[in-house]
Chain A
Amino acid sequence: MALKILSVDDSRTIRLIVGKAFKPYECDMVEATNGEEGLVVAAREKPDLIILDVTMPVMDGVTMLTKLKADDALKGIPVIMLTAESGRENVLHIAKLGVRDYLVKPFKDDQLIEKAGRVIPLQKKPVPA
């Protein structure tokens, strides 16, 4: 069964780049544009991995992460932060909440795949004959 990855970012550009990065792999992408939407999609889709931005309107990534980790049904989903912010206070707070990795924008596809591959068993799609 294909893995499911949830990309939570208010930027369509980043969601598109993330989707393209995982395209060669056996996984289905689902998206959300802010933390509030991200929690709803996470509860409904039960993704295998969440790629989460920090600064977003409506609900930011830190608040979403806090709520996710407080929810028994969702707290086991691994999260990789994908953000332009790497300030000390933010990083320490986020690390305490519990994330599997942290990637600072700008990023290359292969950096994201490498970090994701350490968390979930990514499999390449077979090349069409």
Chain B
Amino acid sequence: MAADTKQYDELAKRYGFAPVPESVSRLTQLVAQQYADLDEIAAVIQGDPVLTKRLLRVVNSHATCEAEYTIDTVEQAIMRNGMGGALILAMGTPLALALQKAFQTMLGLKLEQFPAHQLVGVNGEHMRGSIGFAGKVNGHVYLRMTLQSARTVAAGIFGCKPEEMTNADEIRDAIGELLNIMTGNFKSNLCDSGLDCKLEPPKVGITDDYSTPIERGGGIERIAFRSGAIHPFVEVTANPWNG
């Protein structure tokens, strides 16, 4: 195992892989052990201000600002949300990083993350992509955006103007590929931490349904982004230890 790790580290360096943040990697490894020590998990989260902020936002989902939080410590949040919540937290980071990197490299756009409850105009028909994953952890990743955003994103990827993007299949393929890139990155992190799982093929289509089924006994995290008029919206649902 140690030899494998050393060999992998050498290959990762040679191939130029971007590393997952140490705190996220450690958190996923801890949560992958079903009976992990909650104090140890709390310590990892407390050591990372970004993870702490996200956990508190998830457990105080009805609050519109930090002053309204009723749960304000990591320990309370973990007691309330359980290990599943910590896993969702660990999974959200690689997803968010992968989407931000995809927008930066493929479209030259900087995506800014912002609180999901501030998302306005989330109604009506929109483009929804989803990928299921199954194994020692089961769940789904959803990527949603307005039809105009989807057209603009696809045009950026194909290097043409949005009005030239008239082929619906090409728009769906481009959004499906963004989803593939996001989930491929986070699946690698889960598998490396012992939560082996396989991805299902992406499904992309137009819908007016904003409901998100949550896995039984699992949790959900919503991550909203914006870059100009483009507002992609990611949801991840998961229930670990089904394997």
Chain A residues with CB under 8 Å of chain B are 11-14, 16-17, 20, 55, 57, 83-92, 95, 101-108, 111
State the Cβ distance, B125 to closest chain A Cβ, in Å: 22
Which stretch of B30-38, B67-75, B81-89, B179-187 is in the interface?
Answer: B179-187
Interface class of chain B by DSSP:
helix
Residue contacts A-B, CB under 8 angstroms, 19 given:
A11-B177, A13-B158, A13-B170, A13-B177, A84-B181, A85-B184, A88-B191, A88-B192, A92-B8, A92-B11, A95-B7, A95-B11, A101-B15, A103-B15, A105-B180, A106-B98, A106-B101, A106-B105, A108-B105
**Pair B177/A14 contact, Cβ less than 8 Å:** yes
- 6 other A-B residue contacts (CB within 8 Å) besides A20-B159, A55-B184, A90-B188: A11-B176, A13-B170, A84-B183, A87-B188, A92-B8, A108-B105
**Pair A91/B12 contact, Cβ less than 8 Å:** yes
Residue of A nearest to B7 (CB): A92
User: What A residues does B188 contact at CB under 8 A?
Assistant: 85-88, 90
Bound state CA distance, A108 and B18, in angstroms?
14
Bound state CA distance, A102 and B158, in angstroms?
23
Residue of A nearest to B17 (CB): A86
**Pair A106/B102 contact, Cβ less than 8 Å:** yes
User: What B residues does A111 contact at CB under 8 A?
Assistant: 16
Given the known A-B contacts A12-B170, A92-B7, are A107 and B184 also in contact in the complex, defined by CB atoms under 8 Å? no
Contact of B184 among A13, A83, A88, A89 (CB under 8 A): A83
**Pair A92/B185 contact, Cβ less than 8 Å:** no
Chain B residues with CB under 8 Å of chain A are 4-5, 7-8, 11-12, 15-18, 98, 101-102, 104-106, 157-159, 170, 173-174, 176-177, 180-185, 187-189, 191-192, 199, 201
Residue of A nearest to B198 (CB): A55
Given the known A-B contacts A88-B192, A91-B11, A92-B8, are A105 and B158 also in contact in the complex, defined by CB atoms under 8 Å? no
**Pair B8/A88 contact, Cβ less than 8 Å:** yes
User: What B residues does A16 contact at CB under 8 A?
Assistant: 158
User: What A residues does B181 contact at CB under 8 A?
Assistant: 84, 105-106
**Pair A11/B180 contact, Cβ less than 8 Å:** yes
Bound state CA distance, A11 and B170, in angstroms?
10
State the Cβ distance, A100 to closest chain B Cβ, in Å: 11
State the Cβ distance, A21 to closest chain B Cβ, in Å: 11
State the Cβ distance, B221 to closest chain A Cβ, in Å: 20
